[in-house]
C-alpha cells in the first residue's frame, strides 16, 4: 500500500481524500471575498458530500475556523457536528422525497437572524430528492438570500435530474471525487482502530465509499451480504436460479429495511403517543382523540422511510453487480493486463464471467442493471424489476 494522504486537522479531518476541496472551503471561511451565500456539493456516493458540508458549516460557526486539534473542546464545532447547533438546520430525508412543507420550513428558518453563531446555515442532504414544488421554494430562497444566511445543497451530480439548472446556476459548485483507497484505509486504521489488513480489504471492496468501507470493516453481516450478491452472476444457469436470485435480493433488502426501521418506528410512535396523551384519562382523552391524524401521518412517513431503505439496499446490490460485470468487461478487453478492478477480491469470478459472456455480454448486462435501477426509481415493484433483471443476466448455455 502506497503512502496515505495526509489527514487534515480539526473539523476537516472528517473529509477524506479531498485536499483540494478542503483548501477551497478553508479559503471561504477565512476570506470574506471568497464566501458566497449558496453552495452545491456534488460527487459520487461515498465521496463525502454531506460530511464536507457539515465540516464547512462547523468551520463557519467556529471562531477559529474549525482548526482545533480537539473539536470537542469547541462548543460551536461540537454542536454543529452533533447536529444540535441552534443556527445550523440540517434536512436529511427520511422518506422518498423532500416535500413542499419541509422546503417552506427551510425558507422560514433561513429568514431568521443567527441566534448564537455567525451564520444561519441551511444544509440539505440528498437535495436531488426535492420535489418540484420544494425546488421552487428553495430557488426563491437562493434568489433572495437573507443576510448572514448560507444555503448548502448536496447532490450526486449536476445533471438536471439531480439539480434543476436554475438552482445550479445560482450556487457555487464544490465537486468531490471518490477518495483514494489508501486514504480510506488509513482513516479506518487511525480513526476506527481497524486491523490494517481488514482496512485495506474493506477500502478496496467498497470502491472508496467511506461509509460502506467502515461498515464492511465492522460488520460481518455486511461482508456476508456483499458476498451473497457477488455470488449471483455465476449462479444464473437456469430460469429457476434467476427467479431464486431475485427472491433473495428482494428478501434481503426487505429484511435490512425491517431491521433498520423496527427500533426507530417503535420509539417514534411511543413518543408521539405520549405527547398526545394516548391512554390517559381525564382532560387528556380529548387531545388524544384528536391525535389520530398525527399518528396516521407518522405511519405514512415510516412506511416511506422503510421503502427508501429497501430501495437503497437494492441499489447497493445493483451497484455491486454492475461493478463485477465492469470488471469482466475490462478483463475481456485486456486479458492478462494489469487493470484496476472494482472488486479485486473477486478477480477469478470476473475472469470466468469474461470467458463465458465476452465484452458484448458484459455491456448488455450492465445496461440491464441500469434499466433496473431506473425502473425502481419509477416505482416499478421490486419483485418484477429484479426478476426481469436476473433473467437478463442469465448465463448462456
CA distance 25 to 20: 9
pTM of the model: 0.78
SS3 sequence of the chain: CCCCCCCCCHHHHHCCCCHHHHHHHHHHHHCHHHCCCEEEEECCCCCCHHHHHHHHHHHHHCCCCCCCCCHHHCHHHHHHHHCCCCCEEEECCCCCCECHHHHHHHHHHHCCCCCCCCCEEEEECCHHHECHHHHHHHHHHHHCCCCCEEEEEEECCCCCCCCCHHHHCCCEEEECCCCCHHHHHHHHHHHHCCCHHHHHHHHHHCCCCHHHHHHHHHCHHHHHHHHHHHCCHHHCCCHHHHHHHHHHHHHHHHHHHHHHHHHHHHHHHHHHHHHHCCCCCCCHHHHHHHCHHHHHHHHHHHHHHHHHHHHHHHHHHHHHHHHHHHHHHHHHHCCCCCCCCCCHHHHHHHHHHHHHHHHHHHHHHHHHHHHHHHHHHCCCCHHHHHHHHHHHCCCCC
Q: Helices marked H in 128-234 — which ranges?
A: 132-143, 165-168, 181-192, 196-205, 210-218, 220-230
Report the sign of the C-alpha dihedral through residues 164, 99, 381, 126, in that order. Answer: positive
Digit-by-digit pLDDT tens for the chain (397 residues) are 444 444 457 889 889 989 999 999 999 999 888 899 999 999 988 889 999 999 999 999 998 888 877 788 889 999 999 999 999 999 887 767 888 888 888 888 888 888 887 899 999 998 998 999 999 999 988 998 888 899 999 998 888 888 999 999 999 999 999 899 999 999 899 888 999 999 999 999 988 888 889 999 999 999 999 999 999 999 999 999 999 999 999 999 998 888 877 767 666 666 666 666 665 555 555 555 556 676 676 677 767 777 777 888 899 999 999 999 999 999 998 877 678 888 999 999 999 999 999 999 999 999 999 999 999 988 899 999 999 999 999 999 8
Amino acid at each position: 500500500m502506497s503512502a496515505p494522504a495526509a489527514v487534515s486537522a480539526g473539523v476537516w479531518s472528517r473529509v477524506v481524500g479531498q485536499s483540494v476541496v478542503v483548501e477551497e472551503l478553508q479559503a471561504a471561511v477565512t476570506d470574506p471575498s471568497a464566501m458566497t451565500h449558496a453552495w452545491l456539493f456534488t460527487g459520487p456516493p461515498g465521496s463525502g458530500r454531506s460530511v464536507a458540508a457539515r465540516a464547512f458549516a462547523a468551520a463557519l460557526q467556529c471562531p477559529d475556523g474549525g482548526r482545533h486539534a480537539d473539536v470537542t473542546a469547541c462548543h460551536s464545532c461540537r454542536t454543529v457536528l452533533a447536529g444540535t447547533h441552534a443556527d445550523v438546520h440540517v434536512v436529511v430525508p427520511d422518506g422518498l422525497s423532500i416535500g413542499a412543507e419541509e422546503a417552506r420550513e427551510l425558507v422560514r428558518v433561513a429568514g431568521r437572524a443567527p441566534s448564537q453563531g455567525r451564520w444561519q446555515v441551511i444544509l440539505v442532504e440528498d437535495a436531488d430528492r426535492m420535489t418540484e414544488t420544494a425546488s421552487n421554494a428553495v430557488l426563491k430562497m437562493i434568489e433572495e438570500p437573507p443576510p448572514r444566511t448560507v444555503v448548502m445543497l448536496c447532490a450526486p451530480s449536476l445533471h438536471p435530474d439531480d439539480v434543476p439548472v436554475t438552482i445550479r446556476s445560482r450556487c457555487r459548485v464544490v465537486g468531490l471525487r471518490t477518495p483514494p483507497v489508501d486514504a480510506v484505509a488509513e482513516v479506518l486504521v487511525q480513526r476506527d482502530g481497524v486491523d490494517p489488513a481488514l482496512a485495506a480489504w474493506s477500502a478496496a471492496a467498497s470502491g472508496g465509499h467511506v461509509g460502506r468501507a467502515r461498515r464492511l470493516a465492522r460488520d460481518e453481516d455486511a461482508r456476508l451480504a456483499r458476498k451473497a450478491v457477488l455470488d449471483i452472476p455465476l449462479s444464473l444457469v437456469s430460469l429457476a436460479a434467476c427467479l431464486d436470485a431475485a427472491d433473495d435480493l428482494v428478501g434481503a433488502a426487505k429484511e435490512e429495511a425491517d431491521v433498520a426501521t423496527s427500533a426507530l418506528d417503535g420509539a417514534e410512535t411511543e413518543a408521539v403517543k405520549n405527547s398526545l396523551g394516548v391512554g390517559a384519562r381525564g382532560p387528556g382523552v380529548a387531545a388524544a382523540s384528536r391525535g389520530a391524524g398525527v399518528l396516521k401521518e407518522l405511519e405514512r412517513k415510516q412506511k416511506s422511510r422503510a421503502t427508501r431503505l429497501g430501495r437503497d439496499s437494492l441499489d447497493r446490490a445493483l451497484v455491486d453487480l454492475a461493478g463485477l460485470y465492469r470488471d469482466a468487461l475490462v478483463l475481456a478487453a485486456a486479458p492478462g493486463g494489469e487493470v484496476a478492478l472494482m472488486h479485486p477480491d473477486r478477480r477469478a469470478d470476473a475472469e470466468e464471467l469474461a470467458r463465458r459472456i465476452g465484452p458484448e455480454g458484459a455491456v448488455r448486462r450492465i445496461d440491464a442493471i441500469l434499466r433496473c435501477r431506473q425502473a425502481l426509481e419509477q416505482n416499478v415493484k421490486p419483485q418484477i424489476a429484479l426478476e426481469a433483471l436476473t433473467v437478463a443476466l442469465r448465463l448462456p448455455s
